[in-house]
A and B are shown apart, each in its own frame.
Chain A
């Protein structure tokens, strides 16, 4: 059975999502799969991890591996510029100034950048699969990511509602024209076309995200109380949105050969949390990654960490 093409790595802030996503992406690239690593966290650290600058276009970091960091500010600016460009064709010149002013106001409303980030995310997700065999998403801390993943469903419902209403308007307008004897040739409704195009993208994104053959979400968790509790809630939230969970990766577990009295005390504490993890997530646990003596960084470090993962993605 082929593994899902789209992998997500998520978890509470600071649990090592970026590092593990990077290690998995390097591993996939090393075995010949053309992989795209995408960071959706506005506070990017993928470029730090690979020790090289990255931006919002895919950049090659090693053979078969490209990486990009979505930049919500640039995405929002680009979208606004696009809307303005189309204004020139459709808005009478006397109105153009005011419309532009209103669009600039909308640009700074809360949620604009989140919507722009989602738009780019959806485009990457729904792009045709010819350029990359695998997509690896390194996500923002769980709260943001759960909202991001819930968006296709909500937006799809909203857009469907708007389309239905627009259709009612259209039908009534035509009926009235007929009764008034002013019926014109059937004109296409550009508003409806715009909404339909939007909806098609939302629906495709949703279909991919909810398909276990195409998507797997991996949680990274530490043997500590707060990450465990947050992950436990998030697993259930994903089930509600029908997003398939690939498994749980337990990160930074004290290695068996670490010694000293302090470490022994920590280990006793850790045992308690590892038992808790086993009880809550059971057979979802895919890997247990030991705490490293040094920071993991660069391709060599990620490769070494990937070997420790010993799990097939």
Chain B
């Protein structure tokens, strides 16, 4: 759309320039050739044989330079590592194992999936939980070889048997966080914890009507409603899902927005006072809103609701398109090292699923309950599962509730 507008603008300019006739300038033009045809052929099945190669890797073995495909600035390296005063993990890996790391960035699970699906040869990717199930089912992930990745044993017990990948056979957790409520202090009752009722209960939310936002995400938004109603976020009971959709429909009148991006700005700018969202986003927004003389943390908080909440995990895995499966597994083992895992969290400010990392994490991060939930809260967290075909039932129910 934007391109179309620009084209129109330029056409107008060129038409306006038609009056003046300019003469010679440099420029060579040669014979006409056509634009390359862009037919979309069907993808071929991924080659397997990579699994055998991965199984044969030994501890610390490298088989070439590592192509790392990660989210933007999700690993400390270069000047940013210096600025955060943490170890440059890529440089450290290069030094320790004598291979270089080529970093490529993405900002969306689906973009990453499309590239792997098309067969692009990245050695290590960082898919989120639900994407692990999708990729695993599509045969796009390589099974990790525990003898090449012994640090898998560093993973905290809570993260070893999650529904997207039981037993961490295909992936190792990288960072994790929660979906809860960000709010302005004084607008809700948080004396004894925050309830999802501040959004879903007509009486509790009456005072804040018009200043509430929910995520615009069929699983997350419906998940919050399901939790409030006492069901599982992975419910496959049509009646329960319908009930959650009805609840969202009722709540809609009190909402300022359904927003999955930018809702944090709505909160810090005062356009909302209660907002469903991801913990990392809220903390980043509070940091951003703070200045030398103003501390946004005094005005805003984040809570994991008392009824429970959804949790997410980003993982690190080897795609079936990897060209250097041994370097890849050596890198995963390197990331799962206690010290390196700690540095990762000290840089990202997301919680670490690595039990051995804890002693290396800054105390202010470990003690922050919005990053590291208290043990009793931990029990109330639930992870999203891929629901297969039932997922469309959620999508339909949610879009019906919104309209």
Q: Do A and B bind each other?
A: no
Interface residues of A (CB under 8 A from B): none
Interface residues of B (CB under 8 A from A): none
